[in-house]
Chains A and B, each alone.
Chain A
Amino acid sequence: EVQLVESGGGLVKPGGSLRLSCVASAFTFSSYSMNWVRQAPGKGLEWVSSISSTTNYIYYADSVKGRFTISRDNAKNSLFLQMNSLRAEDTAVYYCARGATYYYHSSGYYYPIDYWGQGTLVTVSS
């Protein structure tokens, strides 16, 4: 069964940095695009970032662009999210999620999600 296990969350001060990891198993990781989606406490879901299987295509939400960096290591079946200049509003559970397939339209790719991890909590507070 497909498994996605996130780690790296925790408490960090405003302006600080954190690196999230997601280890995938039971599928050919290098063949799939991946996503990060977050959910602030008691709030809805927010798409954060996507990366294609070969890292050729990377996208970010405006709310994190310039501060967050998505990356992957296909040899280690791992997805990462480097988060810098963290703000209180970045406090959320961060989910790693697999892209089911891909669609190209309007100058970009869309990767709808089929599998989700259980999430890791990031708290930004002084």
Chain B
Amino acid sequence: QTVVTQEPSFSVSPGGTVTLTCGLSSASVSTNHYPTWYQQTPGQAPRSLIYNTNTRSSGVPDRFSGSILGNKAALTITGAQADDESDYYCVLYMGSGISVFGGGTKLTVL
């Protein structure tokens, strides 16, 4: 059973920089997993942020960036703002058309 791992929670100060990660329980994440990131605030539909490791979706500010750091995918938010306080989900492509979401990271801005 493939498990995609994310930090359950993280906090950042307003104006600060935070890096959220997305890993695999039994392997390294690579660009062949096409790491993708979504943002969701409570009660709302998700919003697409990053796909294919580092391609920003339309309208996403360049404060959000994606990368591979070591053996994980990473989402970095620079200059954190109050409305960045959300849940962040990564998804990895596992091959054969199958995608697996991570459990999500609850980001607090305080």
Q: Which residues of A contact B (CB under 8 A)?
A: 37, 44-47, 50, 57-59, 61-62, 95, 100-101, 103, 105-110, 112-119
- Among A37, A50, A61, A118, max chain B CB count under 10 A is at A37
> Cβ of A112 and Cβ of B52 under 8 Å apart?
yes
- A61 to B74 alpha-carbon distance, docked (Å): 24
Contact with B52, one of A95, A103, A106 (Cβ below 8 angstroms): A103
For the complex, would chain B's binding face be called helix, strand, loop or mixed by DSSP majority? strand
For the complex, would chain A's binding face be called helix, strand, loop or mixed by DSSP majority? strand
- Among B38, B97, B98, B104, max chain A CB count under 10 A is at B97
Query: Knowing A50-B97, A57-B97, A110-B97 touch, does A105 contact B34 (C-beta < 8 A)?
Result: yes
Please count the residue pairs between chain A and chain B whose beta carbons lie under 8 angstroms apart in the complex: 81
> Cβ of A113 and Cβ of B48 under 8 Å apart?
yes
- Among A95, A113, A119, max chain B CB count under 10 A is at A113
> Cβ of B100 and Cβ of A105 under 8 Å apart?
no
> Cβ of A113 and Cβ of B38 under 8 Å apart?
yes
Chain B residues near A62 (CB, 8 Å)? 98
* Interfacial residues of chain B within 52-110, with CB under 8 A of chain A in the complex: 52, 57-58, 87, 89, 91, 93-104
